[in-house]
Structure 1
């Protein structure tokens, strides 16, 4: 996949690992491109039923977007390239058919926290620290952070974090609903994969349709995608497709 990001598949569970350890996994365009490619592969692999996203550096899940890449951009470049790429790829991660679990230890700052929030679930090590510090450098969260943070912890707490560039610890993140579980650092990978295997043991259609319905209710992926799939699976949907291929008029029946 990439020296900066690895994708491993072990039966029904896949693992995406951020591997720019020496830079605390600060996100670059090549890393985003690798994540995009990983999502594309997972979309085409229905045998994968759950995905764990983690880091090989125990000091940081992800320290955020690499300021060396975006700090010199013009406003036009920032809009045309940087923010649009991040939005598109994080949204692709969020809308994967498979449930995703972020296994977080150390820092989850800025774009790193936005990346974690694009996952369905978050399990954190007790040494984790969370922040959207963009206001301290004259920026704003640009990859969906304000929307996802407010949805998870509420508008007032989101404002508290964003306005102050405030850092919160794992216990606060758990109490506020930013993460679902907090475990000791040594147990983080084990626990994240336990949850992934449990999800993978359930009926995949039930899990994936439930994900889409919950996300649609929360203002994410439209329920239209479910309806479109259902329509094609029904007898009249199959008849329409067969008639089109046979170049004949369809013969629809009452449900």
Structure 2
């Protein structure tokens, strides 16, 4: 499948998605979000892919929503677009495979929200991250008011959203918005290193761990703990659990089959 706004390649068992609207600093419009959702569906069905990287190149991960596209939208068109954004980002958040955001340049507005839908975020030095929507007379709508507060706490979320002021990569690291900052020239190598490490883990356990974390963020602690208990017990019905523990006792590297 060919895409107008995306590039996609496979490096072994890693899927690499590159947002590809360089003239517009990868600003998010309906075509990009629809294509991204379609590609995520394709990856979900591809058993060869064990981990995913989403990037935007060296100048911009995504500079936000496409303002020219949104300018004259009425409330119905606006809701249709933001519903599409939610649908696509939710697909990424719930993909049963780990997703790494490799962020460089600008990650503003919808770009920051797209990155927050990923499981792990690493940023290049010099990256600018923020939610500047307040300066446009709107607010974050693609998950920013919800995911940002869950990631960095209400205080930082309100400061970033209320002021619209961006932060640099080191500040993003200090508040937990990203987990690592690396030189720009090392960004993709680091992302691939992490992706290859994750791709070598037990696929079912990885999927269940992601499901537990996601579920736990929306329920009370006792419900989350019970879900974890049942999910953990389920893993003892898998061949991967037997292989992992047997390999540990035999002091060798496990060979997981995803079964």
Residues in 2 aligned to 1:148 and 1:129: alpha-carbon distance in whole angstroms: 18
Q: Which residue of the partner structure matches residue 155 of structure 1?
A: 154
Spell out the pairing of 1:127-206 with structure 2 (5 A cutoff).
127-206=126-205
Give the TM-score taking structure 1 as reference length.
0.85
**Residue aligned with 2:145, SS:** helix
Tell me how many residue pairs correspond in the alignment.
227
- How big is the shift at 1:6? 1.6
Residues in 2 aligned to 1:20 and 1:138: alpha-carbon distance in whole angstroms: 25
The CA RMSD measured in Å over matched residues stands at 1.9
Spell out the pairing of 1:40-51 with structure 2 (5 A cutoff).
40-51=41-52
Spell out the pairing of 1:61-80 with structure 2 (5 A cutoff).
61-79=61-79
**Residue aligned with 2:76, SS:** helix
Bigger CA drift: 64-73 or 7-16?
7-16
Structure 1, unpaired ranges of 5+:
235-255
Q: Which residue of the partner structure matches residue 13 of structure 1?
A: 14
**Residue aligned with 2:55, SS:** strand
Q: Which residue of the partner structure matches residue 100 of structure 1?
A: 99
Q: Which residue of the partner structure matches residue 38 of structure 2?
A: 37
Residues in 1 aligned to 2:130 and 2:199: alpha-carbon distance in whole angstroms: 31
Residues in 2 aligned to 1:76 and 1:38: alpha-carbon distance in whole angstroms: 26
Bigger CA drift: 31-40 or 4-13?
4-13
Residues in 2 aligned to 1:207 and 1:45: alpha-carbon distance in whole angstroms: 16
Residues in 2 aligned to 1:51 and 1:17: alpha-carbon distance in whole angstroms: 11
Residues in 2 aligned to 1:172 and 1:124: alpha-carbon distance in whole angstroms: 11
Residues in 1 aligned to 2:76 and 2:19: alpha-carbon distance in whole angstroms: 29
Residues in 2 aligned to 1:68 and 1:119: alpha-carbon distance in whole angstroms: 26
Q: Which residue of the partner structure matches residue 246 of structure 2?
A: none
- How big is the shift at 1:193? 0.5
Residues in 1 aligned to 2:214 and 2:76: alpha-carbon distance in whole angstroms: 31
Give the TM-score taking structure 2 as reference length.
0.83
Residues in 2 aligned to 1:126 and 1:10: alpha-carbon distance in whole angstroms: 25
- How big is the shift at 1:54? 0.5
**Residue aligned with 1:140, SS:** coil
**Residue aligned with 2:46, SS:** coil
Residues in 2 aligned to 1:99 and 1:169: alpha-carbon distance in whole angstroms: 25
Instruction: Check if 1:211 corresponds to 2:210.
Output: yes
Spell out the pairing of 1:232-247 with structure 2 (5 A cutoff).
none
Deviations 1:100-156 (A, max 9, x none): 000000100000000000000000001101110000010111111111100110001
Q: Which residue of the partner structure matches residue 56 of structure 2?
A: 55
